[in-house]
Structure 1
């Protein structure tokens, strides 16, 4: 029981810490000197692509660890975030950010679906909802700045 509680706290802590690059770079896009703003946009975009790919890996690992009837579909769907993230880096920053935002929203939707949440603890789904919400807000803030 102690291990499960500490694992949950660690996962929440790491998940929230993983928001720092999103939050920091989205703030920098607004307030940093011009030269840093450009770097912040690219840092935000690249980090977003990495994290979106990571979300697919979570489902890949889950499918390999626990036998389920829908594992083949889960393995295939686990590849989608990477196939969204990589091309997003090839587009203009605005287009790439919209593509990444769509990927995060779609992945969040899958995570809370009956199939996507199968095998995950309820606290993990709450964590994913919080993280997806903050990541989406950060994307919208950066996109708003690019539109200004």
Structure 2
């Protein structure tokens, strides 16, 4: 097995494992005792903000690894997820979750743009598509629970 294949498998495994808090907190928001439901919703939103910020870091790291056209723009855009995620935690939790959901959709749009996908292997984009789809669905499930 080549190093590339091994790295891909580790990335897929870690990416899928990263969905556990989204799915778990989303389920707890519906089926846990009421006091735990509140904790689950807040935990969900905090984890969502952390992961959204992480996605910006992916682009920051990519821009620093390889010199290519558009790196300045990529560095600037890499800061946007954090600048969306942090204020989202300061809002009412329902509005904050809508903001985080929009952030995931926006960063996915950039990821799949010509500039955003530059330098990433094809398998990474497939992984991002799957992870983003599940994260968006989990946000909608929690928002539905909140009546939003």
Deviations along 1:86-133, one digit per CA (max 9) or x if unpaired, are: 000000010000000000000011101100000000000000000000
Shift of 1:13: 0.2
Q: Which residue of 2 aligns with 1:115?
A: 115
* 5+ long unaligned stretches in structure 2: none
Deviation at 1:36, TM superposition (A): 0.3
SS at match of 1:147: coil
The aligned residue for residue 76 of structure 2 is 76
**Uncovered stretches (5+) of structure 1, i.e. residues with no partner:** none
Deviations 1:19-65 (A, max 9, x none): 00000000000000001000000000000000000000000000001
Q: How does 1:57-76 map to 2 (within 5 A)?
A: 57-76=57-76
Match of 2:2 in 1: 2
State how 1:1-148 maps to structure 2 within 5 Å. Answer: 2-147=2-147
Spell out structure 1 runs of 4+ moving beyond 6 A. none
User: Normalising to structure 1: TM-score of the pair?
Assistant: 0.99
1:2 Cα deviation after fit: 1.1
Provide the C-alpha distance between the structure 2 equivalents of 1:106 and 1:114, rounded to a whole number of angstroms.
14
Equivalenced residues, count: 148
Q: Give the TM-score normalised by the residue count of structure 2.
A: 0.99
Give how far 1:69 is off.
1.0
How many angstroms apart in 1 are the aligned matches of 2:61 and 2:14? 18
RMSD: 0.8
Q: Partners in 2 of 1:3 and 1:64 — Cα distance?
A: 22
